[in-house]
Amino acid sequence: MADPTLAVVLAGVIMVALNAYALLGGADFGGGVWDLLASGPRRQRQRDLIAHAIAPIWEANHVWLILAVVLLFTCFPAAFARIAIVLHIPLSLVLVGIVLRGSAFTFRSYDSRRDAVQRRWGAVFSGASIITPLLLGTAVGALATGRVRAPAGSFAAGFIRPWLAPFTIATGVLALALFAFLAAVYLTVEAGDDRELADDFRRRAIGAAIAAMIVAGGTLLVARRGAPMMHAGLTSSRWALPLHAGATLAAVGTLGALALRRFRLARIGAAGFVSLVIWGWAVAQFPLIVPPDLSVLNAAAPATTLRFIALGLVAGAAVLLPSLVYLFRIFKASA
Amino acid sequence: MHDLLAARGQMAMSLGFHIIFAVVGIGMPVLMVLAEWRWRRTGESVYLELARRWARGTAILFAVGAVSGTVLSFELGLLWPRFMAFAGPVIGMPFSLEGFAFFTEAIFLGIYLYGWERVSRRAHLLAGVAVAVSGVASGIFVVMANAWMNTPAGFRMAAGRVVSVDPLAALFNPAAFQQTLHMTLAAFVATGFAVAGIHAALLLRGPATPFHRAALGLALLVGVPAAILQPLSGDISARAVARQQPAKLAALEALFTTTTGAPLTIGGLPDAADGTMRFGLRIPYGLSLLAFHDPAARVAGLDQVPRADWPPVAIVHLAFQAMVGLGTFLALLSLVIAWRTWRRRPIAGSRGLLRAIAIAGPCGFLAIEAGWTVTEVGRQPWIITGILRTRDAVTPMPGIAVPFALFTLLYIGLAAAVVWLLYRQIVRMPAAAPHG
Ligand code: HDD
Ligand code: HEM
Ligand code: HEM
């Protein structure tokens, strides 16, 4: 009934959407982290730069997540239903975080007075920016553990233990560290001619990169027990070596570029590093979407649906991609 | 609280919240574009000021629309996983198209809001047009998905599974046309009158500045024609519902027994326990006339539906009465405004009329909430009419009262923040404040 090739292609599109969300939306969350950690004599300037960089595009960045969700429930309905049932709690909390972050950010930028009220919106914005990636990373990590099964037994066994374990906590922290790293690197570019400000974020980017690498190593360690299948995929499969080599190259390259103040190059390296981490996860669990049982093949929608969605995607992309390029040309070309 | 009830409550609350911002996302871009276009045509700076001010308000509301819409796309699965597992492949199409419409809307809104100094005037106005078009499109797509829940089409059932899916037939299901037409008009009625209401109230309170007069004129330009057309569109809906969803029609008219030449009851308190109607004004043959345009037509009553499958009659009936009442008021008021404009008498010249417009301000939004209550509660106990029951679709996760309470508190806080912010933004700012 399902069309295997098309199912794999559409699963790939979902991953592309998630990847784009991590690179674009993730950086917006990371911006919230640096908003909270703003310090030193240029504190206000740091915050202004963050707000300036996020403002015109956060809503567009955010739609990648919606695209991924919509494609998931259309193309792989059984997987979506399972995820929604078992991960109800972390996903609900992610939603609370998304609501608070998005609205607080907007309220802060549109409330034109610089007063205590505005600062309070800022606190909500940055607090939610920390909690949301933690929980999002936890939920994604839960998939890799293979414990997102049809609930049976007690409430804790069915709805809590699948996502609350050392491994998933590690993936949560990893997501936060990666997002903060991305944001700091992007902000070095956004700072433009302001050398002092660029240096502030250069230091932060280097610190976040080191933190992210340590957390990534730690995650791999706890994966041995917490997500054995993922661990096996990441250590001993055919593509494990090229993947790790690529990620290391990207990470070292980014650090080198930061050291040399080649910020645009660093931006490419950072995006490459984060993308490799994400695709590493995807490849390690392919063809499963929700291990141990729901795969790209057995959870796929009927072939007609997949074909229509593929057509819709092509038509949509024809409208969307030029518009996106236009948006970034207008707002990011000068940076 | 019972989990099913909590889930229904959370869904109703989230949708009732989102729809307000969604409607603003459909209506406001049209107002902004009209103002900017007037400014380009006349060169009068009040129109530029209006476009900018409205754009700022829209940005705040749009953000809340975006986050509450995101919540909904997850909630469909979090609360109704079995519905989504079933319906996803059939109605994923409109949701995916809607995704692209959102994307386009968000992109061009970004350009519109932040691009005043960065793109040419022409490109800026066109960006506004793109926002308006994609706003209307996203509303249409999502309502098509809802229409499918009311009149499912485009698939067959075999051994409890969906087979022979035809996404196009699902998209263009029988209820799609009347629902999208009625909803799109509703969005223009609601935003047009809400904006007109605010400026009418400000005109009543303060001096008649050109700013408020211009705003009032443009807002009425959007609201008045739509409000005059809305009862006609409602008539199309009612006749379609009579044919396609007889149980819903019986509930919204509180018709307990099948009747030939059925009367129309205005007002009244139905009592489902003993199948009677208290109070209310009866118009002989009215219902048969309205539903089938034939005084002798036979209208199916709730007696045709098993008792266990009745929707909550009183809620549906009262909500329907509220919508029609508000719609009638708005349509009559619009006729008066249209007449006065045709006679070239300024609207702001009559304090009585201004007062009526101020009162009409919230009416469009109230009618929308009431209308959705009719559609959604009137579908119960089905989540997909005749195919899947709401209670069979709900998540097995216990304790739904907790997220229901959490999201309710969150939305109450958010609503308070929005109201307060808009007040700080628009109302308290002096009319000649510099923009930026
Ligand atoms: C400004 C808002 C507004 C106004 C003034 C009206 N309506 Fe309405 N109505 C809606 C806003 C709305 C709505 C919220 O948009 C609904 C809910 C679902 C839908 O498609 O439209 C709706 C649904 C709805 C339905 C149910 C359709 C269905 O379930 O498929 C009927 C029969 C009517 N309307 C009829 C009317 C009539 C006879 C009106 C006469 C004045 C009227 N409406 C005014
Ligand atoms: C189950 C129902 C619904 C879901 C899942 C849903 C989903 C969404 C999502 C995800 C967004 C955010 C898009 C962005 O980030 O820009 C959104 C916004 C929007 N929705 Fe909904 N929606 C629903 C109901 C409705 C209805 C009934 C309408 C209109 C009639 C509507 C109209 C809109 C519009 C116009 C926007 C964009 C403008 C704005 O954000 O204010 N939606 N919706
Ligand atoms: C934004 C305008 C809408 C409003 C105000 C609204 C209102 C409601 C209400 C009041 C309920 C609860 C009914 C009950 O259980 O008694 C409900 C249920 C529901 N609605 Fe809507 N609705 C809207 C649009 C939509 C759309 C566009 C969709 C999806 C395509 C949708 C999907 C659902 C689902 C899945 C349920 C839960 C199952 C059920 O109770 O039947 N709604 N809605």
Give tens-digit pLDDT for B190-211: 999 999 999 999 888 877 788 8
Over 90: is that where the pLDDT of B53 sits?
no
Q: What is the pLDDT of residue B435?
A: 39
Question: B381: domain range?
Answer: 192-394
pTM metric for this prediction: 0.90
- Report the C-alpha gap between A83 and A114 in whole angstroms: 42
Q: What is the pLDDT of residue A91?
A: 92
Quote the ligand 3 centre to A290 CA distance (angstroms): 28
Which residues lie with the beta carbon below 6 Å from any ligand 3 atom?
B 8, 11-12, 15-16, 18-19, 76, 80, 83, 142-143, 145-146, 372-373, 376-377, 379-380, 383, 390
Inter-residue contact A277 to A232 (CB < 8 Å): no
Q: What is the pLDDT of residue B429?
A: 54
Find the CB nearest B84 among A65, A77, A312: A77
Contact A66 B81 (CB under 8 A): no
Within 8 A of B92 by CB-CB distance, chain A residues are 70-71, 73-75, 301, 305, 309
Q: What is the DSSP letter of A192?
A: T
Of chain A, the percentage scoring pLDDT greater than 70 comes to 94
Neighbours of B206 (CB within 10 A): 10
Q: What is the pLDDT of residue B436?
A: 34
Query: Mean pLDDT across the stretch A226-239?
Result: 79
Give tens-digit pLDDT for A163-172: 788 888 988 9
- Report the C-alpha gap between B207 and B374 in whole angstroms: 42
Quote the ligand 1 centre to B323 CA distance (angstroms): 7
Q: What is the pLDDT of residue B434?
A: 40
Quote the ligand 1 centre to B259 CA distance (angstroms): 24
- Report the C-alpha gap between A97 and A87 in whole angstroms: 15
With respect to residue B183, please indicate whether it lies within any of the assigned structural domains: no
Quote the ligand 1 centre to B153 CA distance (angstroms): 22
Query: Mean pLDDT across the stretch B157-182?
Result: 86
Inter-residue contact A253 to A185 (CB < 8 Å): no
- Report the C-alpha gap between B287 and A242 in whole angstroms: 73
- Report the C-alpha gap between B147 and B227 in whole angstroms: 22
- Report the C-alpha gap between B52 and B65 in whole angstroms: 20
A34-38, A319-323, A330-334, B89-93: least confidently modelled range = A330-334
SS3 letters for B310-359? CCCHHHHHHHHHHHHHHHHHHHHHHHHHHHHHHCCCCHHHCHHHHHHHHH
With respect to residue B415, please indicate whether it lies within any of the assigned structural domains: no
With respect to residue B54, please indicate whether it lies within any of the assigned structural domains: no
Over 50: is that where the pLDDT of A335 sits?
no
With respect to residue B269, please indicate whether it lies within any of the assigned structural domains: yes
Write out the DSSP string of A250-304: HHHHHHHHHHTT-HHHHHHHHHHHHHHHHHHHHHHHTTEEETTTEETTTTPPPHH
Q: What is the ipTM of this complex?
A: 0.88
Which among B384, B53, B9, B20 is positioned nearest to B219, based on CA atoms? B53
Over 80: is that where the pLDDT of A153 sits?
no
- Report the C-alpha gap between B376 and B146 in whole angstroms: 9
Within 8 A of A71 by CB-CB distance, chain B residues are 92, 96
Q: How far is CA A301 from CA A86, A108, A297, B161, B393, in A?
A: 21, 42, 9, 11, 18
Find the CB nearest A323 among B107, B163, B421: B107
With respect to residue B365, please indicate whether it lies within any of the assigned structural domains: yes
Q: What is the DSSP letter of B268?
A: -
Over 80: is that where the pLDDT of A113 sits?
no
Over 50: is that where the pLDDT of B50 sits?
yes
Query: Mean pLDDT across the stretch B157-162?
Result: 76
Phi-psi domain of B268 (left: phi exceeds 0; alpha: psi -120 through 50; beta: other): left
Write out the DSSP string of B173-242: -TTHHHHHHHHHHHHHHHHHHHHHHHHHHHHHHS---HHHHHHHHHHHHHHHHHHHHHHHHHHHHHHHHH
Which among B89, B425, B390, B142 is positioned nearest to A308, based on CA atoms? B89
Within 8 A of A313 by CB-CB distance, chain B residues are 96
Within 8 A of A327 by CB-CB distance, chain B residues are 107, 110-111
Contact B92 A78 (CB under 8 A): no
Question: Structure tokens of A197?
Answer: 């400000």
Arithmetic mean of pLDDT over chain B: 86
Torsion angle in degrees (nearest 10) through CA of B7, B12, B13, B17: 140
Inter-residue contact B272 to B315 (CB < 8 Å): no
* Nearest chain A Cα distance for residue B244, angstroms: 26
Three-state secondary-structure class, residue B421: helix
Contact A66 B106 (CB under 8 A): no
Number of domains, chain B: 1
Over 70: is that where the pLDDT of B425 sits?
no
Looking from the CA of A168 toward its CB, the CA atoms found within 13 Å total 21
Q: What is the pLDDT of residue B72?
A: 92
Give which of A1, A110, A120 to mutate to test B binding, by max B Cβ within 10 Å: A110
Which among B420, B316, B386, B341 is positioned nearest to B149, based on CA atoms? B386
Looking from the CA of A17 toward its CB, the CA atoms found within 13 Å total 24
Query: Mean pLDDT across the stretch A225-242?
Result: 80
With respect to residue B404, please indicate whether it lies within any of the assigned structural domains: no
A174-188, B389-403, B417-431: least confidently modelled range = B417-431
Inter-residue contact A111 to B421 (CB < 8 Å): yes
- In Å, the largest CA–CA distance within chain A is 63
Inter-residue contact B242 to B291 (CB < 8 Å): yes
Q: What is the pLDDT of residue B243?
A: 86
Over 80: is that where the pLDDT of A42 sits?
no
Neighbours of A115 (CB within 10 A): 8
Q: What is the pLDDT of residue B59?
A: 81
Question: Structure tokens of A68?
Answer: 């991924």
Mutate to test the pocket of ligand 3, among B376, B380, B383, B385 (most ligand atoms within 8 A of CB): B376
Within 8 A of B168 by CB-CB distance, chain A residues are 308
Buried residues in A13-36 as b, exposed as e (16+ CB within 10 A): bbbbbbbbbbbbbbbbbbbbbbbe
